[in-house]
Amino acid sequence: MSSAQSKRPLQSAKCGALVGDVRVPGDKSISHRSLMFGGLAEGETRITGLLEGEDVLATADAMRKLGAKVTRDEDGTWHVRGVGVGALREPDSVIDMGNAGTGIRLLAGIVATHPITTFFTGDASLCKRPMGRVADPLAQFGAKFVTRDQGRPPMAVIGTDEALPITYTLPMASAQVKSAVLLAGLNTAGTTTVIEPKPSRDHTERMLRHFGVEVDVQVNDDGGRTISLTGPCTMTAADIVVPTDPSSAAFPLVAALINPESKVTIRDVCLNPLRTGLITTLIEMGGDITITNEREEAGETIGDLVVTGKNRLKGITVPAERAPSMIDEYPVLAVAAAYAEGETRMCDLAELRVKESDRLAAVAAGLAANGVIHRIEGDDLIVTGGVVPGGGLVETHLDHRIAMSFLVLGIGAEKPVKVDDAAPIATSFPVFEEMMAGLGTSFAPSNR
C-alpha cells in the first residue's frame, strides 16, 4: 500500500502519436464481486481475467479471513471455495481494505447479517471516507456499527443473525450502497428492497443471478429502479470471466483523442450500458471512436474501441443524469476538456467529493497548477480548453484516478506535468505505465 514514505513522483512529457493495440486489465467492480460471491457460494468458483490490483487483492485476503479458500494458479486463474450464505467465520484479526471503498462497503453489507464481529481498517484515504451511507441502512437490519467521528473507518461491524428485511430508498446514486443492502438481504428472511432514483452500475444484480439468486428488477416511471430479493438465499458456485475495465480503458482512450495523429485499439472493453457515459460524452464532443466486434460474454456486453485523434474535441454540457454511468471518469474527462475547443460543463459532481480524494478539489488544483482555465459553480465543474501550458506539480492524495488523469494531461502539454505520487495506480491498473509506454507516451521518474 502507498504511504508517505514510499511516494513515487512521476512526470509525463509531450509525445508523438500514440499507436497500438491494447487490452486493459479486468474490471475492478466485477473482480471484487466475483471473490465475494464465490466466497458466499456453495462449491468452487473459477475466475479468469481477475484484476490483480491492490484493491481486489485486499478483498481476496478479506474473504480468506472470513473463511473462504482463495487460491491462484500460475496461469492466473483464481479459485474460490465458498462457505455458503450464513456460514462466514469471524475473522481473528483486523481486515485491512487498503484503498478500496467498494471492498469495505460491500463487505460491510455481507457481514452485517452474519452473527460475527468484524473490524475493518484501511489506508489514510479510506480512513477519511464516509461509511454512514452503508451503516445507516445496515443498522436497520439490526447490525451495530462503531466508527470514528463522521462514520469514518476504522469500523467495527457487529452482525446479527436475526436480521429484519428492509425497504431502502437510496439518498444518492450509489452502486456500493445498493449492493451493501442487497448483500445484507441474502442472509435475511423475507424480502429486501432497494429503490434507486437514478440507475447505477448493476454488476451486483447481474452476478447474483449468475450465482442462482432470484433478483427482481423493475424500472420505475421516473427512470429509477426497484430491486428486490428474498432471503435466506442459497448461492451456487459459478465460473466468472471478468471483462476488462471501462474505467481503465478511459485513460488510453482520452490519450488517443487529444493527440492528433494517434490511432489506438482497445480490446474487449466491458460496454455495460451503465458504464459507458464517458464514451457517449466523448462521441458528443466529436471524438472519433468506433465500437467494433460487439458481443455478449458472461452476461456483459463487450466490444473493441478503435480511437483516433483526428477530430479536435469540442466543449459540451454533460448532463447530471449521466453522472452515475461515468462517475469515476470525470477526472480524465476534465483532461479531455482541457484540450477541447470551448467550454465543457460537467454537472452535479457532489459525489466526487467522497471518493479516494475530494476529486473535485484535486482536479481543480491539478488544472490550476498546469494553467488550465476552469471554475467550480456549486457542484459543477467548468473547463475551458485550449493550449495546455503544463509545468505544474499535481498532488494525487492517494488517488489512482488523479495520478493517471494528470499523466494523460502531460502528453500534450507545453511543459511536462508531474504527479507527486504514482504509487496508488497499483490499486486499479498495475500495468498502466507499461501499457501507456507501449503506445508511445513519455513518462519518467521525477525528483519533484
Ligand X SMILES: C=C(OP(=O)(O)O)C(=O)O
Ligand Y SMILES: O=C(O)C1=C[C@@H](OP(=O)(O)O)[C@@H](O)[C@H](O)C1
Residues numbered 400 to 429 that lie near ligand Y (CB under 6 A) are none
Q: Is the peptide bond before 273 cis (omega within 30 degrees of 0)?
A: no
Out of 11, 160, 176, 192, name the contact with ligand Y by CB under 6 A.
Answer: 176
Residue 174 makes contact with ligand Y by CB under 6 A: yes
Query: CA 36, CA 40: separation in Å to the nearest integer?
Result: 6
- Residue 357 sits in the site that holds ligand Y (CB under 6 A): no
Our finding on whether 325 is near ligand Y (CB under 6 A) is no
Identify which range of 115-123, 175-183, 188-196, 306-314 contacts ligand Y by CB under 6 A: 175-183
Closest residue to ligand Y, based on beta-carbon distance: 29
Contact residue for ligand X among 133, 225, 401, 418 (CB under 6 A) = 401
Catalytic residue among 328, 399, 420, 421: 328
Nearest approach, Cβ of 408 to ligand X (angstroms)?
15
Among the listed residues 2, 31, 59, 102, the single contact to ligand X using CB under 6 A: 102
Q: How far is CA 338 from CA 149, 332, 383, in A?
A: 37, 10, 6
CA 7/CA 362 separation, integer angstroms? 17
Which residues 331-370 are close enough to bind ligand X by CB under 6 A?
355-356
Q: How many residues line the site for ligand Y (CB under 6 A)?
A: 10
Please say if 420 is a catalytic residue: no
Figure out which of the listed residues 34, 113, 118, 179 binds ligand Y, where binding follows CB under 6 A. Answer: 179
| Residue 245 binding ligand X, by CB under 6 A | no
Pairing of β 263-270 and β 300-308: antiparallel
State residue 328 phi and psi, 5-degree precision. Answer: -85, -5
Name the residue nearer to ligand Y (CB basis): 131 or 369: 131
Residue 428 contacts ligand X per CB under 6 A: yes
Under the criterion CB under 6 A, does residue 390 sit at the interface with ligand X? Answer: no
Ligand-binding site membership of 14 (annotated): no
**Is residue 349 within 8 Å of residue 333, measured between CB atoms?**
no
Q: How far is CA 215 from CA 149, 175, 203, 272, in A?
A: 35, 15, 12, 18
**402 binds ligand X, rule: CB under 6 A:** no
Task: Name the residues annotated as catalytic.
Answer: 328
Question: What residue ranges bind ligand X (CB under 6 A)?
Answer: 28, 100-102, 328, 355-356, 401, 428
